[in-house]
Structure 1
Amino acid sequence: MVTLIDTLAARPADLRHPEKRNRPESPVLRKPDWLRVKAPGSGQYNVTRAIVREKGLHTVCEEAACPNIGECWSQKHATLMIMGDTCTRACAFCNVKTGLPQPLDAEEPAKVGLAVAQLGRNPLVITSGDRDDVHDGGAAHFAEVVREIRHQAPATTIEILTPDFLRKDGAAEVMIDAKPDVFNHNLETVPRLYLKIRPGARYFHSLRLLQMVKERDPNQFTKSGIMVGFGETREEVMQVMDDMRSAEVDFITIGQYLQPTRKHAPIDRFVTPDEFKAYDAIARAKGFLMVSSSPLTRSSHHAGDDFARLKAARAARLSAAR
């Protein structure tokens, strides 16, 4: 039987990178004015970058070519990407390289804990690529990183942005039991587009993962996000909102998809700021504790302010229910 590992290892090296995947090229559309950001380069940005380099860490800010890197790094907010810089999936939207990752680094949890203490950033977001090559999807390693941060920087509020742990029995429970403050897993797009945009994942599995968090630990905040501009309809976006609320998701993020290279999925259209405002109002009416809906919204953008607002919103809702 040919396994995933065999398949990945047999690929030519250049096909392990998103920009060289065997996909037809499509033009990268010119960004409208509301999507333009300043190039990074502040003093604090350089300090953050130096710490990341010194500790040998990866960040999704760089790997996924996030447009907000200048703003976030100037505030010492780097979203750490653990378990290597290579993902075993090949999602059509993502700039993280695809291939057979290196073995997990047993020293990484301690290194990350030390780096977090040095950055002094609170809250912190930790994410990873999919590790389908590991028996538990890397859940135990991910959980150990959370525990090490609790040990070395106990005041840090931790948000995890996890893979889906598809076909990894027990992995979700390991992650939930690590007790992050916010459990984030992105649905990314509407169900109709999964085979095109997120072919290695399953929409209802991801939805079930979010639901499991609330069943196992109702006190953990849950968060999920989608990108728009792939060709989804307004009605499909609203259905995803309803599905998230059925899973008791607390916080939804909605942002514009930006095509990293000509080999990635093309942009169907740029959604206007007014449309994002409309999605914001609809999501709030559907009962989310928090909504972030704007062209430049990304999953971990403004995580510090958002966590404080999440706690305040929950407290206000509980008070109103009494």
Structure 2
Amino acid sequence: MKQTIPGGSKYAAIKAKLRELKLHTVVLVRGETGTATATIMILGDTCTRGCRFCNVKTSRTPPPPDPDEPSNVAEAIASWGLDYVVITSVDRDDLDDQGSNHFAETVQKLKGRNIWIRCFRPNIETVEELQGVVRDRRANFEQSIGVLKMAKSYAPAGTLTKTSIMLGCGETPDQVLSTMEKVRAAGVDVVTFGQYMRPSKRHMPVSEYITPEAFEKYRSVGVEMGFRYVASGPMVRSSYKAGEFYIKSMIDADRARAPASP
């Protein structure tokens, strides 16, 4: 299995703008569908948590958030000419509001532009039984499920909720199916499955490389469970490029069918 490394003039321009505005990104441009998108990581590049699978820098006392970051994100997106952006962030347990106001300000700065914004999709990361092994002790299954339920209850009609699961962390098929059922019961619309890849020897080892056939089975079972979209494959990540635009089309269709506000 091979993955094309990003490159070209568009890639170089985005990298340069990131450095200029002191922004951070997890995923750069993806052009599979003929449309460009990027994932921007806000609240700095240092997380207060230390999950065993993640390669983001960690510290108990990271630098304070850059007050110019929300405006810089909007400036960067405008200069790139993108029409779809994913906003994600590190965890900031050191802040009283855990960075929520900074997150909200960033989204507000992007409002009014002709661009789709996706944010606030807590990943459960692994099956319920392995939460304490894979994730930081301050993260857990019930907490993530609770956030997904809250997002669904407060979000405007037509908003989709999404989460992601890594496979190859030591889970069993029965645990995956049980976790999927609980995620679906929480009202989650979209789920993605990908292969866990060890970032370095300091991180949790890969327990198993899942076969494409097994990924396909989880996809078909997820559809049967009622998920509106399931992306499942070795190279799939939480911001799966093809899936992003399929989800956008679903939201467009939902909103077109929704009754007009009085």
**TM, length-normalised to structure 1:** 0.73
Residue 261 of structure 1: aligned partner: 200
For the pair 1:189 / 2:126, whether they are aligned, the reply is yes
C-alpha contact (below 8 Å) 1:59/1:81 kept by paired residues? yes
C-alpha contact (below 8 Å) 1:124/1:157 kept by paired residues? yes
Of 33, 44, 48, the match for 1:84: 44
Instruction: Look up the SS of the partner of 1:184 in the other structure.
Output: coil
Of 157, 166, 169, the match for 1:227: 166
The worse-fitting range, judged by mean Cα deviation, of 108-117 and 50-59 is 50-59
For the pair 1:294 / 2:233, whether they are aligned, the reply is yes
Any stretches of 5+ residues in structure 2 without a counterpart? none
For the pair 1:216 / 2:216, whether they are aligned, the reply is no
Distance, in Å, in 1 between the alignment partners of 2:110 and 2:49 is 27
Residue 56 of structure 1: aligned partner: 22
Of 84, 87, 90, the match for 1:126: 87
CA RMSD of the aligned region, Å?
2.2
Distance, in Å, in 2 between the alignment partners of 1:51 and 1:132 is 28
Residue 102 of structure 1: aligned partner: 63
Residue 143 of structure 1: aligned partner: 104
The worse-fitting range, judged by mean Cα deviation, of 246-255 and 193-202 is 193-202
Residue 251 of structure 2: aligned partner: 311
Residue 10 of structure 2 aligns with an amino acid whose one-letter code is Q
Instruction: Sort the Cα spacing of 1:286 and 1:313 in 2 relative to 1 into closer, same or farther, 3 A.
Output: farther
Measure how far apart 1:249 and its partner are. Answer: 0.5
Distance, in Å, in 2 between the alignment partners of 1:191 and 1:317 is 36
For the pair 1:200 / 2:138, whether they are aligned, the reply is yes
Distance, in Å, in 1 between the alignment partners of 2:116 and 2:256 is 20
Distance, in Å, in 1 between the alignment partners of 2:200 and 2:239 is 22
**CA offsets, 1:10-35, max 9 Å, x none?**
xxxxxxxxxxxxxxxxxxxxxxxx2x
C-alpha contact (below 8 Å) 2:192/2:236 kept by paired residues? yes
Measure how far apart 1:47 and its partner are. Answer: 2.1
Aligned residues: 253
Instruction: Sort the Cα spacing of 1:45 and 1:314 in 2 relative to 1 into closer, same or farther, 3 A.
Output: same
Distance, in Å, in 1 between the alignment partners of 2:4 and 2:66 is 35
Measure how far apart 1:192 and its partner are. Answer: 1.1
Distance, in Å, in 1 between the alignment partners of 2:220 and 2:7 is 35
C-alpha contact (below 8 Å) 1:48/1:78 kept by paired residues? no
Residue 222 of structure 2: aligned partner: 283
Residue 167 of structure 1: aligned partner: none
**CA offsets, 1:220-247, max 9 Å, x none?**
2100001000010111111111111111
The worse-fitting range, judged by mean Cα deviation, of 51-60 and 259-268 is 51-60
Of 173, 176, 192, the match for 1:237: 176
**CA offsets, 1:160-214, max 9 Å, x none?**
1xxxxxxxxxxxxxxxxxxxxxx41100001111111103311101101000111
Residue 94 of structure 1 aligns with an amino acid whose one-letter code is C
Instruction: Look up the SS of the partner of 2:111 in the other structure.
Output: helix
Of 153, 158, 179, the match for 2:117: 158
- Spell out structure 1 runs of 4+ moving beyond 6 A: 315-318
Instruction: Sort the Cα spacing of 1:146 and 1:70 in 2 relative to 1 into closer, same or farther, 3 A.
Output: closer
**TM, length-normalised to structure 2:** 0.89
Measure how far apart 1:44 and its partner are. Answer: 2.0
Measure how far apart 1:271 and its partner are. Answer: 0.5
Distance, in Å, in 2 between the alignment partners of 1:55 and 1:206 is 32
Measure how far apart 1:258 and its partner are. Answer: 0.3
Distance, in Å, in 1 between the alignment partners of 2:143 and 2:93 is 15
Distance, in Å, in 2 between the alignment partners of 1:309 and 1:257 is 28
Of 111, 114, 133, the match for 2:72: 111
Measure how far apart 1:106 and its partner are. Answer: 1.3
Residue 156 of structure 1 aligns with an amino acid whose one-letter code is I
C-alpha contact (below 8 Å) 1:189/1:228 kept by paired residues? yes
Measure how far apart 1:313 and its partner are. Answer: 6.9
C-alpha contact (below 8 Å) 2:189/2:229 kept by paired residues? yes
